[in-house]
Amino acid sequence: MNETIELMLSHRSIRKFTEEPMSEETVRTLVACAQAAATSSNVQAVSIIQVQDPERRQALAGYAGGQPYVASAATFFVFCADLSRPARACESRGGEFTPGMTEHFMIATIDVALAAQNMVLAAESLGLGICYIGGLRNNPREVADLLELPDQVYPVFGLCLGTPAQDPEVKPRLPVDAVLMQERYRSAEQADELVASYDDSLRTYYATRTGGKKNSSWSEEMKALVGKESRPHMREFLGQQGFTLK
């Protein structure tokens, strides 16, 4: 096992940060690392907005559902899927941008995630901690308005970064054999035992971490997560930004 792999396997989200600020040089290195990730047809459909103003950070922390580390992290980035730049380039060469394709939406969203994960590992390799903030999608309209996002741009998630002021345990994952399949999809039924053993290990993890206060398993969490509508405003919001998903 090497340094990079050890780094990955020790990943956990950090939600408490010291007050140590981040240098502009580090910010630019992190962005360059994000850009170095693979990108579909070189579209580079990623814009990264750094928000440092305390009032704006407070607003974002609120939009994210009251996550205080959005305000307190040394640095906060909003990762945006951005088809505005390629659309403009297309039109500068006499082309006519074709808006609303589901495939373009996917390309841009995937580009953003690949770039962000590069930034995350680069940050962690520098001793920083991170926390993704999908909660920005609780109030995407407000986030887009605050950041003045134009047509063809939407906020995929935020990212808190800073020097860790906590050292949480690594959260256990599903067994490799539940996720890795050979040649064809293995029916979910065949993974039931693996999921059951994972339910047990996650229950133990929570119990240990909270001194017995939290008693939950993965299956119970999934009931809460996919057993109801989730951010039902999302489709309409995406449409407002020009991602009509046709």
**Residues between 61 and 90 with contacts to its own copies, criterion CB under 8 A:** 80, 83-90
Measured between alpha carbons, how far is 138 from 144 in angstroms, rounded to an integer? Answer: 12
Site of tokens 């001793």: 127
Measured between alpha carbons, how far is 43 from 45 in angstroms, rounded to an integer? Answer: 5
Binder among 19, 148, 167, 169 for its own copies (CB under 8 A) = 148
Q: Does residue 93 touch its own copies according to CB under 8 A?
A: yes
- Alpha-carbon distances, residue 133 vs 111, 116, 158, 209, 224 (angstroms): 17, 12, 5, 22, 19
Q: Does residue 195 touch its own copies according to CB under 8 A?
A: yes
For its own copies, the closer of residues 23 and 41 by Cβ is 41
Q: Does residue 166 touch its own copies according to CB under 8 A?
A: no
Binder among 19, 23, 42, 212 for its own copies (CB under 8 A) = 42
Nearest approach, Cβ of residue 18 and its own copies (Å): 20
Measured between alpha carbons, how far is 37 from 132 in angstroms, rounded to an integer? Answer: 18
To 5 degrees, how large is the angle CA 34–CA 39–CA 42? Answer: 120
To 5 degrees, how large is the angle CA 234–CA 240–CA 244? Answer: 75
Nearest approach, Cβ of residue 22 and its own copies (Å): 13
Nearest approach, Cβ of residue 211 and its own copies (Å): 20
Contacting range for its own copies; rule: CB under 8 A; set: 14-22, 63-71, 125-133, 207-215:
125-133
To 5 degrees, how large is the angle CA 119–CA 125–CA 126? Answer: 95
How many other β-carbons are positioned within 10 Å of the β-carbon of residue 156? 23
Q: Does residue 120 touch its own copies according to CB under 8 A?
A: yes
Site of tokens 């909660």: 135
Binder among 14, 22, 31, 71 for its own copies (CB under 8 A) = 31
Query: Which of 63, 77, 75 shows the shortest CA–CA distance to 18?
Result: 75
Q: Where in 95-114 is the site for its own copies (CB under 8 A)?
A: 95-98, 101-104, 106-107, 109-110, 113-114
Contact 47, 85 (CB under 8 A): yes
Binder among 40, 163, 201, 240 for its own copies (CB under 8 A) = 40
Contacting range for its own copies; rule: CB under 8 A; set: 15-23, 58-66, 67-75, 118-126:
118-126
Measured between alpha carbons, how far is 138 from 136 in angstroms, rounded to an integer? Answer: 5
Nearest approach, Cβ of residue 178 and its own copies (Å): 7
Query: What is the size of the binding site for its own copies (CB under 8 A)?
Result: 119
Q: Does residue 235 touch its own copies according to CB under 8 A?
A: yes
Q: Does residue 163 touch its own copies according to CB under 8 A?
A: no
Measured between alpha carbons, how far is 11 from 159 in angstroms, rounded to an integer? Answer: 15
